[in-house]
Structure 1
Amino acid sequence: MVYDIHAPPAISRFPVADLGLAVETRNPDGSPTLLFAHGFGQTRGAWNGAASALADAGCRCVTYDTRGHGESDRVAGGADSGGGYHMDQFADDLLRLAEAQPQPPILVGASMGGLLGIVLAGEMRPVPFRALVLVDITPRWETAGVERILAFMQAHPDGFANYADAAEQIAAYLPQRRERKSEEQLRPLLREGADGRLRWHWDPALLAGGVVQESERYQPRLQAAAAKIDLPVLLLSGARSDVVSRATVDEFMQLVPHAQHVELSHATHMVAGDANDAFMREVVRFVQSLDPSADRRHAGAAQP
C-alpha cells in the first residue's frame, strides 16, 4: 500500500496507568518505526514537519503528547493537586508506548524526551528501542538554558487576550525565527478558558510539581544510565544552544563512546524547528545506516 502524504495522520488514545495519551501515527504500514518524544512544554506538533517527511520516505512515524501536555490527559486534581507529575511517570508512559509498537522503535527524543530515552535505554533489559536520536540533550545540561525555558513557561499565568499577543511573546522568546506563528499554528498550543483568555496547552501543575524539582537530581542517574547504553546513538546538538555545551557533549561522548555527534551550526536548543532540513538529513542518514536485521518484532504487540 502506498502511503498518501495528504491523508491526515491517524489519531488515537493510548491508555497508560492512570490516563490517556494523544497519539498520531503516520504511514502505519511503514518500516522502521520512529517514535518521537517532545520536550517539556511542547506537543507532538513540534514533530509535524519531520514526521510527515519521514513517513513520506517510508518510515512508520508515531508522535504523542506527554501527560499534561497538548491533548493528552492531565493528572486528576490539576494545579490544585500540588503537582502530580514525576519523571518516572513520563518514563513509564514512554516505555508502554514503545512496547506497544509492532517493532522496537528508533526513539527521536528532544530535551526531556531524550532524557527519558536515556533512562530507558540504559536501565531496561530488554531495551525497548532499536536506536536513539537525542536532540540537543545530554545527561548533564547547562542550568541557565533550562531556567530560560522555565521562565518563559511561567511568564504568562493569566494567558493572552488574543493569538497576536501570544505570537509576539513567542517571537521574543525565539528571535532566530524569521516568521511569526499564525493563528492556525497557535491553535493547538493554546486553550481558551472560561474567562475568554488563551493559555498554553500544558497543565499549570507541571510547573508546581515534581518534574522541575526532580530534574537536577536526575543527573547522576542519567549519567549512570548513559554509560550502559549499547544501542546505536546519534546526538544532534545546536551550535547556538544554551542547554547543551561543548563540555556536556564531551562528557556524554566519554560515557557513550560509540555514539555519533553532529553539531548543527545554525540551530539553538530548538533544533528541529531552527534547522529542519539539516536535522532531517542527519536523521535519514542515521536511520539508513542501521542494520535492517535489527528490526525485530514484538509478538502480539498492540497497535496504538
Structure 2
Amino acid sequence: MTSSDATIATFTGADGLQLVADEWNRPSAADNGDPARPSVLMLHGGGQNRWSWKKTGQVLASRGLHVVALDSRGHGDSDRSPDARYSIDALSADAERVLDQIGRPTVLIGASMGGLTGIQAARDAGPHKVTRLVLVDVVPRYEKDGSARIRDFMFSHVHGFDSLDDAADAVAAYLPHRTRPQNPEGLKKNLRHRNGRWYWHWDPAFLTAPHDDPFLRVEQLEQAAVELTIPILLIRGKLSDVVSEEAVADFLNKVPGAEFVELTGAGHTAAGDDNDAFSDAVVSFVLRP
C-alpha cells in the first residue's frame, strides 16, 4: 500500500479543537465492531506528527484493520491550543473524544508522549473502548537525561533552519544510529516553510507554556497502568536513553501482565529506527486472538 491509500480525517478534540488524522479502511455505519478486528488509534511523540506512523499504518491497514494516525493538538495539521494547554490531561481528553467518535473497540498505540497519554486515556475510557495498549519506548519512570536531550534538540531549533539540508544535518547529529538520507525532501512532512526558513510543524508553546510535568505525575501514571486489565505491550529500543533496562524491569514488576519486546537496532524513535521489526511486533500483538 502507499500513503495515498490513507484519507484525511478530522475529529473534534477537547476544547473544540480540530484534530487531523490519516485514516485507513474507514468502517461503514453498519459495522458494529468485531472485537477480533479492532480499530487502531496511533498517538505520536512530542514534536512529531501523524507521519511518524505512515509505514506501520499501511501495514496494519493491509491486514484489514481500521487505522487512525492522529496529529495531537499543537502538532502537524491539528489546531494549536489557544491557551497552550498541552498537559497529559488535555491530550488524554482529546484521545477520549476521538475514541468516542471512532465508536468501536480500539487498540491504542502511543510513542513517548503518546504512550503516557495512552495510559491515562485507556484507564479513563475503560476496557470496552480500549481493548489493548502498546507503549513505544515509554514508561512512567523514564530517564530525565534522555528526556532533557529531546527538549534540548527541540529548543535549539525552535527558530528554524535555513535549508532542508541544515535540518537533515541536525537530525543526523541527534540520531547518530540512523543513516542520514541523501535526499532531505522527506523532512517536508515535518517542516513548514515560511519567511524564508523551515520550521518544525509544532507549536513552540508546547515547550514554553507552563504545564504539568510528567515527572510529577509518576505515581498517578503508574497507578493508572496498574489498574488496566487489558493486554499491554511495551516496546523498547535497545539504544534508548529515555527508557532504561532498570525502568523496564520496574514497570514489568508493577504491571506483571504486560509483555515486552526489545528492538536491537532501535533507539527512542523505535518505529522509525527499525520499522519492519516494530510493525511485526505490533501486528502480532494487535491480531492475536
Answer whether TM exceeds 0.5 for this pair.
yes
CA distance in 1, matches of 2:228, 2:86: 26
Q: Residue 175 of structure 1 aligns to a residue in which SS?
A: coil
Once the two structures are superposed, what CA deviation does each residue of 1:76-131 show, in whole Å capped at 9, x if it has no partner?
Answer: 2xxxx6x4322211110011111221412111111111111111223444553110
Equivalent residue in structure 2 for 1:50, among 37, 50, 56? 56
Identify the residue that residue 33 of structure 2 maps to in structure 1: none
Amino acid at match of 1:208: T
CA contact (8 A) 1:86 1:209 kept: no
CA distance in 1, matches of 2:259, 2:273: 21
Cα displacement (A) at 1:254:
1.6
CA distance in 1, matches of 2:116, 2:102: 20
CA contact (8 A) 2:137 2:237 kept: yes
Cα displacement (A) at 1:73:
0.7
CA distance in 2, matches of 1:196, 1:6: 28
CA distance in 1, matches of 2:65, 2:18: 25
Cα displacement (A) at 1:7:
4.2
Alignment of 1:106-255 (within 5 A): 106-125=107-126, 128-180=129-181, 182-193=183-194, 195-211=195-211, 213-255=212-254
Identify the residue that residue 287 of structure 2 maps to in structure 1: 288
Identify the residue that residue 293 of structure 1 maps to in structure 2: none
Identify the residue that residue 294 of structure 1 maps to in structure 2: none
Correspondence 1:8 to 2:9: no
CA distance in 2, matches of 1:192, 1:280: 31
- Unpaired runs of 5+ residues, structure 1, are 291-304
Amino acid at match of 1:96: R
C-alpha RMSD of matched pairs (Å): 1.8
Identify the residue that residue 91 of structure 1 maps to in structure 2: 92
Q: Residue 218 of structure 1 aligns to a residue in which SS?
A: helix
The number of aligned residues is: 280
Once the two structures are superposed, what CA deviation does each residue of 1:214-249 show, in whole Å capped at 9, x if it has no partner?
Answer: 221121110111110110111111111101111111
CA contact (8 A) 1:75 1:85 kept: yes
Cα displacement (A) at 1:6:
6.8
Q: Residue 227 of structure 2 aligns to a residue in which SS?
A: coil
CA contact (8 A) 2:96 2:125 kept: no
CA contact (8 A) 2:71 2:78 kept: yes
Q: Residue 68 of structure 2 aligns to a residue in which SS?
A: strand
CA distance in 1, matches of 2:89, 2:3: 37
CA distance in 1, matches of 2:127, 2:261: 28
User: What TM-score, normalized by structure 1, do the two folds share?
Assistant: 0.87
Identity of aligned residues (%): 40
Q: 1:152 to 1:6 in 2, by over 3 A?
A: closer
Amino acid at match of 2:262: E
Identify the residue that residue 71 of structure 1 maps to in structure 2: 77
- Unpaired runs of 5+ residues, structure 2, are 29-36
Amino acid at match of 2:271: A
CA contact (8 A) 1:168 1:180 kept: no
User: What TM-score, normalized by structure 2, do the two folds share?
Assistant: 0.91
Q: Residue 36 of structure 1 aligns to a residue in which SS?
A: strand
CA contact (8 A) 1:5 1:56 kept: no
Amino acid at match of 1:12: A
